Amino acid sequence: MTNIKKVSELAGVSTATVSRTLKNPELVTENTREKVMKAVQLAGYRPNWLATSVKTGKSNSIVVLVPNLVNPFFMRIIEGIEQAAQEKGYSVLLGDTQGKANRENEYASMVLTNRADGLIQLDHSFPFSANDAALAEKVPMVSVCERIEGERRYPFIELDNYAAGRALTHHLISYGHSRFGIIAGQRTSQIHHDRLAGIKSVLNEEGIDFSEDMLVGGSYRIETGIEGVQELLKRDTPPTAIFCFNDDIAIGALYELKRQGLRVPEDVSLTGFDNVKVSAYMDPPLTTVDQPAYEMGRRAVDVLIQLINRQPLSRTREILPFQLLERGSTGPAKA
C-alpha cells in the first residue's frame, strides 16, 4: 500500500506537510495544496481516516440533508459539498429526506450518535425531533439557500433573494409589463418571503398594483408550473408576465402555456430561478437567475468544519452574488 512518504517525495514536501494538507488544507498555501493533492492522485494514496477517527473521537463524516434529490439545483450544491469535503478528509452521508420530518429526524440523529461530526441542511426546517432538540443545541450545523427555522440562529450560506427578485422585476418592467403572475415554491420559507418582497418593492415603487389572487403555487415541482398557469389563465385579466420561483416550475409553466396555444414570449413572458443546465436548452431558453450553487456547497463545508473544530466564525451569514441571465423567454409586453 502506498504510504505518506511516497506522496511527500512526489510532491517535494515533508511528510508533516502532507499530513497537514490532508487534515487542515486551509493551513497551507494553495500551491502546496495543489502539489500534494496531485501527488496523492499519482501515488494512489488513501489516508487511514478510520485510525485517525479512533484517536480523535471524530468520524470524519458529515451528513447532508436534501429535500429533493431529483432537483438538479441541489445536485450542483452537493457536487461542491462533496469536492470540498473530500479535500478536507471528510466523507459525505447523503440523506434524501423527501421533505418528511421523520426522515430528517432519522438522518440528523446520526450526529448525536457520533456517526457524523456535523450537518448541512438544504431545507428550512429544524431537522431534529422534539426529543432530540436539547441534545442538538451544540451540534455543528450549517444551512445552504434556506435559513433554519426556530429561535436558534445557525450559520447559513445564501443568495440575496430580495435583490434577485428586484432585478427580475426591473427586467420585465423594462419590456413594458404591468400585469404579473407569480408561481411560488414553498411559501413558509425565507426564500419565498425574500423573493416576493423584492418583486413587490419594485411594483410599489413603479405604482403597479398587484392582486394577491395572482400569487399561486406552493412547491418547487414541474407540476406546480402546469397547475399555476392553469389557475392564472382563468383570472379575469391574465398576466402578460409570470415569475416562477425556480426553473422546474418555469419548465412546467412553459409546457402548459404552449399546450394552451400561447407563445412565449410574444403572448406571455416567463422567468425562472436557479439556472439549472436544461434551462438554457428550452424552447425558448429561459430567462433566469444564476445561483453559484457549487460555490455555495464548498463554502458550507468550510464553515461547517470551522464549527466542528470549534474555530470562531468571522460572520454567520454569507451572501453570494447572483447573475440575471436574459434569454429568449422574456420580451416586450403584448399590446
3-class DSSP string for the chain: CCCHHHHHHHHCCCHHHHHHHHHCHHHCCHHHHHHHHHHHHHHCCCCCHHHHHHHHCCCCEEEEEECCCCCHHHHHHHHHHHHHHHHCCCEEEEEECCCCHHHHHHHHHHHHCCCCCEEEECCCCCCCCCCCCCHHHHCCEEEECCCCCCCCCCCEEEECHHHHHHHHHHHHHHCCCCCEEEEECCCCCHHHHHHHHHHHHHHHHCCCCCCHHHEEECCCCHHHHHHHHHHHCCCCCCCCEEEECCHHHHHHHHHHHHHCCCCCCCCCEEECCECCHHHHHCCCCCEEEECCHHHHHHHHHHHHHHHHCCCCCCCCEEEECCEEECCCCCCCCCC
pLDDT of residue 14: 86
* Mean pLDDT of the 8-14 span: 88
Average pLDDT, the chain: 91
Q: How confident is the model at residue 299 (pLDDT cuts 50, 70, 90)?
A: very high
pLDDT of residue 43: 81
> 82-91, 208-217, 261-270 — which is least confidently predicted?
82-91
Q: How confident is the model at residue 3 (pLDDT cuts 50, 70, 90)?
A: confident
Counting residues of the chain whose pLDDT is more than 90, the rounded percentage is 65
252 pLDDT higher than 80: yes
Burial class (CB in 10 A: 0-12, 13-18, 19+), 255: middle
What digits encode the pLDDT tens for the residues 32-70?
Answer: 888 888 888 888 776 665 455 545 557 889 999 999 888
What digits encode the pLDDT tens for the residues 151-183?
Answer: 778 999 999 999 999 999 999 999 999 999 999
Counting residues of the chain whose pLDDT is more than 70, the rounded percentage is 95
Q: How confident is the model at residue 320 (pLDDT cuts 50, 70, 90)?
A: very high
What pTM does this model have?
0.79
> 69-73, 271-275, 321-325 — which is least confidently predicted?
69-73
Q: Cell digits for 50?
A: 478510520
pLDDT of residue 46: 66
pLDDT of residue 1: 45
CA distances from residue 53 to 76, 115, 244, 282 in whole angstroms, order as listed? 29, 11, 46, 48
pLDDT of residue 131: 84
pLDDT of residue 135: 82
CB 101 within 8 A of CB 149: no
CA distances from residue 68 to 73, 77, 96, 100, 121 in whole angstroms, order as listed? 10, 12, 7, 10, 12
